[in-house]
């Protein structure tokens, strides 16, 4: 799947990965070939992997403070969901955060959760084939898996 096709499908979310918008995307994707579903999963994983960088992951949660007013760090899951929210916001937002880290910050909010987007490829595959998909993608989208993005982890 080309990046242009991937972003066109993401545009069906209207900027947010809500349960309803992701259901629409699942339905649209399930009407395509299995190859397209796999291609979408690959592009999605790569988009998340590219965002898996220390400069984004070390941002505090936008609307939360800890004891004594300290900034509250993102959890691994929270960071993954924030990255999903950035992808769901569309190509312009996704590309823009690489040039201005402050544009990523609003997506760390507890009100901004893109978790539903994670399940789209699996659900589309199951709807299209009637089978569960135990998939793996070239890129791991889990937080802290992009070694180049996290030079401070010293692996």
Retrieve residue 77's tokens: 């899951």
Q: Which of 4, 91, 22, 11 is nearest to 50 (CA)?
A: 91
pLDDT of residue 67: 73
Residue 4 near residue 101 (C-beta atoms within 8 A): no
CB atoms within 10 A of CB 10: 24
- Mean pLDDT by groups of 10 residues along the chain of 155 residues: 97 96 98 97 98 93 73 87 97 97 92 92 96 91 92 70
pTM of the model: 0.93
Q: Give whole-number Cα distances, 104 to 19, 55, 143, 152, in Å.
A: 22, 10, 15, 20
Residue 15, C-beta contacts closer than 8 angstroms, at least 6 positions apart: 88, 89, 90
pLDDT of residue 135: 80
pLDDT of residue 66: 67
């Amino acid at each position: 799947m080309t990046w242009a096709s991937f972003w066109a499908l993401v545009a069906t979310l209207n900027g947010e990965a809500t349960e309803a918008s992701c259901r629409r995307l699942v339905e649209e994707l399930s009407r395509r070939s299995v190859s397209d579903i796999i291609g979408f999963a690959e592009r999605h994983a790569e988009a998340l992997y590219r965002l898996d960088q220390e400069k984004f992951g070390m941002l505090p949660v936008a609307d939360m403070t800890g004891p004594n007013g300290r900034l509250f760090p993102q959890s691994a899951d929270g960071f993954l969901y924030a990255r999903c929210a950035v992808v769901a916001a569309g190509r312009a937002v996704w590309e823009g955060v690489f040039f201005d880290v402050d544009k990523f910050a609003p997506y760390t909010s507890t009100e901004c959760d893109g978790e539903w987007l994670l399940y789209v490829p699996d659900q589309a595959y199951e709807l299209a084939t009637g089978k569960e998909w135990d998939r793996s993608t070239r890129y791991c989208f889990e937080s802290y898996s992009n070694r180049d993005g996290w030079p401070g982890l010293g692996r």
